[in-house]
Amino acid sequence: MAEQQQASRQDRAAEVEIAISKMLRIGIVLAGLVIVVGLVLFLVTGDSGYPGDTFPTSLPEIWRGIVELKSVAIIEAGLILLILTPVFRVFVSMFAFIHEKDYSFVLISILVLVILALSFALGKVGA
Amino acid sequence: MNKGDVCLTATVIEILLIAILAGIVGSILGLGGGIVVTPALTLLFGVEINHAIGASLISVIATSSGSAVAYIRDRITNVRVGMFLEIATTVGAITGAFLAALIAPNFLYYIFALLLLYSAYAMVKKGKEEIPVNVPQHPVAEKLGLGGEYYDKALGKNIAYNVDRVYEGFGVMYGAGVVSGLLGIGSGSFKVMAMDVFMKMPLKVSTATSNFMMGVTAAASAGIYFLRGDIIPVISAPVALGVLIGATIGARIMQRLKSKTIRKLFIPIMIYVACQMIYQGWGA
């Protein structure tokens, strides 16, 4: 009985891990491709789309740059995808733990997300 | 293509190659690769320190996610330990960000340097030990199901392990978070130390789990750097791509290395980071 419990716990853990691993792969492949497209465009045209060494740092500006196919804006979109990947990873694991009814780890995931949101909000104020 | 473009392309390729190296080293040692990227960019390419840290954060995130794909698939990463300890590192990171604004950090630098030197010493003592033996399962580890098992490709067998001294490990992880918040780095050496020296986990599991965790704290700081304009796209793009490639290669190499070998690579780096911190404390 104890052995069975142990085995099912292992299986459930494996499902959470597969979900996290898949999510991470999608994140890095997507980010990598977008960065490659932007970087190649930048090197081939030699044009960042922005004057001098400047580049946009707000989401609306970057979005406008992407629509206008500006190389640096495309690179930035890829970098944003890369930065968001670990945060999404915590999200995905929260849902995976809910699915596996592993509530202590659902709580842990939520706690990490709240702390991350808090640190981002505080950082924004400081910056 | 004119001469300026050729130079630019050459620089991008050089950064890409260094980033591949950073990804390999970072994924094997659980350090995130910032340890290679920051000095390379500042010393070789004359990049400003703020921008180098921005690129280094990108490198930490890329190493973390890039190597985790393989480490989780091969069940080296202990996801539960990682997520549990992330509470400590994220709270620590916020504390660090506040401390940076409130106090002169030189005292903290000395404490952290001493902690690193102590754990370098503990690692030297463990030098001959390939896998931890006779480790009791801590009650908290039992309750949260933190213990685990992985297949060691260098030894060719399954290794089951327990997790000890959860509170001490949690405390050191908090310290690791404080260091991240203060310096804007991944502080992987502290994370590996918390798991390897304090919680008595196998070294390979410790470095893989350290890598896994590092992306989360780095992502929080990277968001702030991005809004400030400290993540320069043209520099960070080759760093991200190179590190992703390097981390994928490194995750394969690490599994075939003996823990003793990884330890031998790790100890001098810890001593180097400790000296750097003492030097920083001196300057501040």
State which of A16-30, B93-107, B221-235 shows the largest mean pLDDT: A16-30
Q: How far apart are CA B247 and CA B68, in angstroms?
A: 9
Q: Which of A9, A108, A126 has the CB atom closest to B84's CB atom?
A: A108
CA of A88 vs chain B CAs: smallest distance (Å) = 10
Q: Which two tokens stand for residue A109?
A: 């995931």
pLDDT band per the 50, 70, 90 thresholds, residue A12: low
CB A27 within 8 A of CB A82: yes
Q: Choosing among A115, A120, A122, which should be mutated to test the B contact, i.e. which has the most B CBs within 10 A?
A: A115
Q: For B176-193, how does the pLDDT look when each residue is reduced to its tens digit (9 = 90+)? A: 888 877 765 667 888 998
Minimum Cα–Cα distance from A85: chain B residue = B65
Q: For B103-156, how does the pLDDT look when each residue is reduced to its tens digit (9 = 90+)? A: 666 777 787 788 788 878 888 887 778 888 888 889 888 888 889 899 999 999
Nearest Cα neighbor of B74 from B137, B188, B130, B154 is B154
Of residues B50 and B70, the one with the higher pLDDT is: B70
pTM value is 0.89
Task: Mark yes or no for CB contact B224/A123 under 8 Å.
Answer: yes
Q: Is residue B255's pLDDT more than 60?
A: yes
Q: For B18-58, how does the pLDDT look when each residue is reduced to its tens digit (9 = 90+)? A: 999 999 999 998 888 778 888 889 888 888 888 888 899 99
CB B194 within 8 A of CB B172: yes
Task: Mark yes or no for CB contact B228/A109 under 8 Å.
Answer: no
The rounded Cα B153 to chain-centroid distance in angstroms is 22
Percent of chain B with pLDDT over 70: 94
| Average confidence (pLDDT) over A5-29 | 80
Task: Mark yes or no for CB contact A82/B220 under 8 Å.
Answer: no
3-state secondary structure A61-114: HHHHHHHCCCHHHHHHHHHHHHHHHHHHHHHHHHHHHHHCCCHHHHHHHHHHHH
Task: Mark yes or no for CB contact A28/B244 under 8 Å.
Answer: yes
pLDDT band per the 50, 70, 90 thresholds, residue B284: low
3-state secondary structure chain B: CCHHHHHHHHHHHHHHHHHHHHHHHHHHHCCCCHHHHHHHHHHHHCCCHHHHHHHHHHHHHHHHHHHHHHHHHCCCCCHHHHHHHHHHHHHHHHHHHHHHHHCCCHHHHHHHHHHHHHHHHHHHHCCCCCCCCCCCCCHHHHHHCCCEEEEECCCCEEEEECCCCHHHHHHHHHHHHHHHHHHCCCCHHHHHHHHHHHCCCCHHHHHHHHHHHHHHHHHHHHHHHHHHCCCCHHHHHHHHHHHHHHHHHHHHHHHHCCHHHHHHHHHHHHHHHHHHHHHHHHHC
Phi and psi, residue B161, nearest 5°: -140, 155
Distances (CA, A) of B29 to B76, B78, B81, B222: 13, 15, 18, 22
Minimum Cα–Cα distance from A107: chain B residue = B84
Contacts of A20 in chain B (CB under 8 A): 68, 72, 79
Tell me whether residue A22 is exposed, middle or buried, using C-beta atoms within 10 angstroms of its C-beta: 0 to 12, 13 to 18, 19 or more.
Answer: middle
